[in-house]
């Protein structure tokens, strides 16, 4: 991906500068942007002439990343991690805006004068054009700097390849887009006054194709090769282009002169309005969100599901992660993945009820935004019990004979006829009883061996689960189960309603964040290397209470922030978005303004214990010093308060305007315009 930018020039710039003079008078942000087209695949970053930097998310949500920066220029670029850079030529400054952070000046060591543009490569190195010193400053991610001289007459825009091997410059004086190679050689990519007249903006994609927008409404694509470059006229329907941006997936977007919208250029050359009512746009950067995962098939397990999927295209940030929802997007949980086969990733989704069909949603997320959802259904199942050994005695082997053998016949079973003898008494005959038979091997069944006891597969179930309501939280305790030979590695507590969960590594108590006024029950499972136990019976019910509001501002050194960074002043009736962190997940936080405490509202934190909540400064708030506070509990259930002290000014006050800044804008706009007009007259 190319981290770059472009610029608009000539009469368009002068008009924008003049409009910017008016806008600078009151730089308070407005969020009237309307999503008029499908922007679900991108996030837009717009710099306004009034010194504001805004992000328009895939869902149309407008977030102001910086406000009131003064006379900022038309340079804008983004690093892969979402860090944004914008230029301020009159202030000789390049502003760095880290995700969730406040603007900070890039601490260049080299002299930077009138930085017209800024770019970032994939290593995180920052490049800026110092037009006052005729060199480019490259600042590596470790802070090391290099200056790269150039010979162009007036550099009005710059772009950099994703690997930093080429730097592209737009030379306003000669009407050329020039490529500077790493070996120091230069190549003219396009001559504006000959190949493409009236160039006003340009950018470069990750295939080193140059896109140029013109004052007459054209967008051209210049494909570089070993021979002559190929120039394709993609559209003539944009109108007077003021800026152009190309996403990693090849989508082209543009802003146009005297318009407050951003348009998309389709492959057939048609132009579609994406957003409207963008206040005073002078620079545009559009980044693609990751594509939806595909081939999403789930395999049931005990209280869980093993999932596999193919990741979608990463979009503007290659460092994509994944998360799942089992409650129709009410909450999302990170998914730990491992490489599978054929380019797949695998993971396990827990906390599924056995015997009930569940729908699992899966999405990727990066610093740019979230992908569309992938979906599958699964029914988690309890494991079938292992069959016990047979309790029936085995049939004994038949003995060789179960009857006594027939006795050998006696020599005679009857008395022999006596021989006549002188005696009249017969002789005693031989025994007539059968001989005792040999015993058979066994004439009864053998006694079976005792059956072995069933082997346990998971721990027994915890007992005695008790829930105690606290401020924005629930304290849970339980009894360990009876030992069945399976080593327990920890416990997991599951709130009902969800999605709050806490996990221990052996402790039999923990704290769950909770929404004030909600009735909860909880259940506990034991964890082991062989699996999880069955769910315990439900605890008693518990209803967390809301954080109390003290009569005076709580004393704390933990700073509360806004989506625009730390602010020092505001006005009655102004809308601001408060941002806080470090609270228990899914817990209630009360937002209050002092001196006399006025509750501005309550909000609930996300799975990371952070919140972003829009509030309105009370219209009757007196001028002077006031404190905004956010009161809740930390992950351990202890009180946590963040605080921001501001000065409230009368609603009619205006931000100060420095005559020098306005004069710089006028001089710069007129100078560039006259240079372009004079050159055209000479060429003609």
Distance CA 3, CA 163 (A): 10
Stretches in the chain below the pLDDT threshold 70: 1-32, 183-184, 384-456, 651-684
Round to whole Å and give the CA distance between 79 and 105: 16
- Asked if residue 256 lies in contact with residue 241, where contact means CB atoms within 8 angstroms, the answer is yes
Q: What is the dihedral of CA 138, 139, 144, 148, to 10 degrees?
A: 10
And the tokens for 583? 């609270």
Copy the structure tokens of residue 128: 């800026």
The 3-state DSSP class for residue 661 equals helix
CA distances (Å), 520 to each of 298, 352, 499, in order? Answer: 30, 18, 11
Q: Encoding tokens for residue 301?
A: 């397990």
Q: What does DSSP say about strands 176-181 and 166-171: parallel, antiparallel, or unpaired? A: antiparallel
Q: CA triplet 545, 583, 52: central angle to 5 degrees?
A: 120
Report d(CA 35, CA 26) in Å as an integer.
24
DSSP 54-78: EEE-TTS-EEEEE----S--S-EEE
| Rounded CA separation 514/500 (Å) | 7
Query: Phi and psi (nearest 5°) for 387?
Result: -65, 135
The CB density around residue 102, as the number of other CB atoms within 10 Å, is 16
271 to 251, 257, 262, 288, 478: CA distances (angstroms):
12, 15, 10, 18, 63
Cβ atoms within 10 A of the Cβ of 153, count?
A: 13
Q: Check residue 229 and give its pLDDT.
A: 87
CB of 308 within 8 A of CB of 348? Answer: no
pLDDT at residue 280, as a whole number = 81
Dihedral of the CA atoms 532, 535, 541, 546 (nearest 10)?
Answer: 30
Question: Cα-Cα-Cα-Cα dihedral of 343, 344, 346, 349, to 10°?
Answer: 150
Compute φ and ψ for 669, nearest 5 degrees.
Answer: -60, -45
Give dist(CA 259, CA 254) in Å, integer.
Answer: 11
Q: What are phi and psi of 13, to 5 degrees?
A: -65, -45
Task: With H, G, I as helix, E, B as strand and everything else as coil, classify residue 676.
Answer: helix
Helix (H, G, I), strand (E, B) or coil at 287: strand
Q: Which residues contact 368 (CB under 8 A, 6 or more apart)?
A: 42, 43, 82, 287, 288, 289, 290, 315, 316, 317
384 alpha-carbon distance from chain centroid: 37
Token pair of 25 as six digits: 């008078």
Rounded Cα gap, residues 270 and 241, in angstroms: 15
Give pLDDT, residue 257.
86
Spatial separation of the C-alpha atoms in residues 138 and 659, rounded to whole Å: 32
* Residue 49, both tokens: 């002439």
Altogether, the residues listed in the chain come to a count of 684
């Amino acid at each position: 991906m190319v981290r770059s930018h472009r610029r608009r020039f000539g009469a368009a710039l002068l008009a924008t500068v003049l409009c910017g003079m008016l806008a600078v008078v009151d730089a308070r942000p407005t969020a009237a942007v309307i999503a008029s087209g499908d922007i679900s695949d991108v996030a837009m970053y717009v710099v306004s002439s009034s010194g504001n930097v805004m992000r328009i998310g895939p869902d149309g949500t407008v977030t102001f990343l910086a406000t009131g920066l003064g006379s900022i220029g038309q340079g804008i670029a983004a690093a892969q991690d979402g860090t944004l850079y914008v230029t301020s030529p009159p202030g000789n400054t390049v502003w760095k805006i880290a995700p969730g952070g406040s603007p900070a000046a890039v601490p260049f060591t080299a002299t930077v004068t009138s930085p017209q543009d800024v770019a970032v490569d994939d290593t995180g190195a920052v490049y800026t054009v110092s037009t006052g010193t005729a060199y480019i400053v490259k600042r590596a991610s470790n802070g090391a700097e290099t200056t790269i001289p150039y010979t162009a007459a007036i550099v009005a825009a710059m772009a950099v390849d994703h690997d930093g091997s080429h730097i592209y410059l737009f030379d306003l004086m000669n009407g050329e887009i020039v490529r500077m190679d790493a070996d120091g050689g230069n190549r003219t990519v396009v001559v504006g006054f000959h190949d493409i007249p009236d160039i006003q903006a340009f950018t470069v994609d990750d295939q080193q194709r140059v896109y140029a927008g013109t004052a007459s409404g054209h967008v051209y694509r210049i494909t570089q090769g070993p021979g002559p470059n190929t120039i394709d006229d993609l559209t003539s329907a944009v109108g007077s282009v003021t800026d152009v941006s190309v996403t990693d997936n090849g989508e082209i977007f543009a802003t146009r002169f005297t318009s407050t919208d951003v348009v998309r250029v389709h492959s057939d050359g048609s132009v579609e309005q994406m957003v409207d009512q963008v206040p005073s746009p002078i620079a545009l950067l559009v980044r693609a969100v990751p594509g939806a995962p595909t081939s999403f098939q789930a395999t049931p397990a005990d209280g869980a599901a093993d999932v596999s999927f193919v990741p979608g295209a990463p979009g503007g940030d290659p460092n994509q992660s994944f998360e799942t929802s089992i409650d129709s997007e009410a909450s999302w949980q990170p998914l730990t993945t491992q490489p599978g086969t054929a380019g797949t990733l695998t993971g396990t989704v827990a906390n599924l009820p056995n015997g009930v069909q569940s729908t699992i949603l899966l999405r990727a997320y990066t610093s740019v935004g979230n992908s569309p959802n992938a979906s599958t259904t699964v029914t988690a199942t309890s494991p079938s019990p292992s069959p016990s050994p047979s309790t029936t005695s085995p049939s004994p082997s038949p003995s060789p004979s179960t009857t006594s053998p027939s006795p050998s016949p006696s020599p005679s079973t009857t008395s022999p006829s006596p021989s006549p003898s002188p005696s009249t008494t017969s002789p005693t005959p031989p025994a007539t009883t059968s001989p005792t038979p040999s015993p058979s091997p066994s004439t009864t069944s053998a006694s079976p061996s005792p059956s072995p006891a069933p082997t346990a597969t998971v721990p027994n179930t915890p007992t005695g689960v008790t829930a105690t309501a606290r401020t924005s939280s629930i304290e849970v305790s339980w009894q360990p189960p009876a030992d069945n030979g399976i080593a327990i590695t920890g416990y997991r507590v599951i709130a009902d309603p969800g999605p709050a969960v806490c996990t221990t590594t052996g402790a039999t108590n923990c704290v769950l964040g909770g929404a004030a006024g909600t009735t909860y029950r909880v259940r506990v499972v034991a964890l082991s290397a062989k699996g999880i136990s069955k769910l315990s019976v439900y605890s008693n019910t518990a209803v967390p209470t809301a954080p109390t509001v003290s009569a005076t501002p709580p004393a704390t050194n933990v700073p509360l922030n806004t989506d625009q960074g730390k602010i020092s002043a505001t006005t009655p009736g102004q809308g601001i978005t408060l941002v806080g962190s470090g609270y228990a997940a899914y817990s209630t936080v009360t937002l209050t303004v002092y001196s006399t405490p006025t509750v501005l509202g309550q909000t609930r934190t996300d799975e990371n214990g952070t919140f972003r909540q829009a509030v309105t400064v009370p219209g009757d708030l007196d001028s002077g010093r006031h404190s905004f506070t956010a009161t809740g509990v930390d992950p351990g259930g202890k009180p946590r308060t963040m605080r921001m002290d501001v000065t409230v000014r009368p609603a009619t006050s205006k931000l100060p305007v420095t005559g020098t800044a306005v004069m710089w804008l006028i001089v710069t706009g007129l100078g560039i315009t006259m240079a372009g007009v004079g050159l055209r007259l000479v060429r003609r």
